[in-house]
A and B are shown apart, each in its own frame.
Chain A
């Protein structure tokens, strides 16, 4: 395996492309998400997207915030060559909702808010509460792992350049 520090920097772009692809899939190809999960899921862009445009010596950062914010400025930034560095997501299944932000470079899951769980009132409640939380964290992690796996499978296939990138370009310039 490559040196960790080298591979972190050398392949940062995979994280940016993953979040760009994910945004595209959420907007244009929900079937891609549905086929990953057995139960019906609803994945939406949450209340924050951060894009960064590094051109020559300048770094431009674009943050779009707000529950019903228009994302046109984000698409405009993509047209200018920006990359998605952070994406906030809302993941719903049944009457449960998870909210979290994925950071592209490191795949950190930040600000993860899970469905409400019961309060811990005694030491005996602790074990159950921990296992319930672990289960809920795992649901969100499994979803992002499945999405990343789907992205990586496409990314190392010929379909990426031949089919996926043209569709993403079409979406960006639509």
Chain B
């Protein structure tokens, strides 16, 4: 989901720590190193990496293009190849029939069937192009927060993993406890009370 879409969903994070200086150059290096690789001519079923916000299908981090105003803005891209099960079934049936005819046997062993299936999936994965999913993010570096424009669990998990791998900075998801503890500016006494809280019963 893009940050310029008419309707968006946002997951908020706090970024723990800072990059080494000069920040824009370090950032560009980290993004380039973990940019999305092309898997269209590869047997990989899935790949995850960074891409440019303004050019998601040809990542380019040259010239601090990811810097807009005081924000770092770039995107997480997840490319996935999905082979329809019916296509796998069809090609397995064709290959099984071919092999039976060639050997003159009536049945194939379980291992042979498994190998045929693996081969078919591998051949089809190579032929099928990957479907890209792009999720934008805004990183307010000075204030150490990040908005990720998706609430999908899988996309958020990929973001957290790749972000740490790329920048060696942990992302802390902001849900009620972490927001109260890290963002609301509570005093030490208030935070001590927070830890001991239990649910209120509103019924009489």
Contact = CB atoms under 8 A, between A and B. Distances in A.
A64 B200 CA distance: 23
Given A2-B177, A8-B175, A141-B12, A148 B184 contact: yes
Interface in B160-184: 172-184
A40 interface: no
Contacts of B193: 156
B183 A145 contact: yes
A51 to B, nearest CB: 12
Main secondary structure of the interface of A (DSSP, over half): helix
Interface string A134-170: 1001000100010011001101100011000100110
A172 B201 CA distance: 12
B167 to A, nearest CB: 18
B69 A134 contact: yes
Contacts of B131: none
A7 B197 contact: no
Interface in A1-50: 1-2, 4, 7-8, 10-18, 20
B177 A7 contact: yes
A2 B202 contact: no
A109 interface: yes
A173 B182 CA distance: 35
A3 to B, nearest CB: 11
Contact of B69 (A109, A131, A173): A131
Residue from A14, A18, A105 with most neighbouring chain B CB atoms (10 Å): A14
B47 interface: no
B7 A107 contact: no
Nearest to B185: A149
Given A80-B203, A109-B9, A156-B197, A14 B177 contact: yes
Residue from B53, B174, B176, B180 with most neighbouring chain A CB atoms (10 Å): B176
Interface string B186-204: 1000100111011111111
Interface in A83-114: 103-113
Contacts of A149: 184-185
A122 B13 CA distance: 31
B103 interface: no
A123 B204 contact: no
Nearest to B203: A81
A106 B9 contact: no
A148 B9 contact: no
A14 B174 CA distance: 13
A65 interface: no
B68 to A, nearest CB: 5
Nearest to B170: A4
A7 B178 contact: yes
Contacts of A105: 175-176
B197 A4 contact: no
Residue from A131, A156, A168, A169 with most neighbouring chain B CB atoms (10 Å): A156
A11 B178 CA distance: 9
B179 to A, nearest CB: 6
Given A110-B151, A127-B68, A137-B3, 8 more contacts: A1-B182, A17-B199, A109-B12, A130-B4, A134-B71, A137-B10, A148-B184, A156-B194
Interface of A: 1-2, 4, 7-8, 10-18, 20, 78-81, 103-113, 120, 123, 126-127, 129-131, 133-134, 137, 141, 145, 148-149, 152-153, 155-156, 160-161, 165, 168-169, 172-173
Interface of B: 3-4, 6-12, 53-54, 68-69, 71, 73, 138, 147, 151, 172-186, 190, 193-195, 197-204
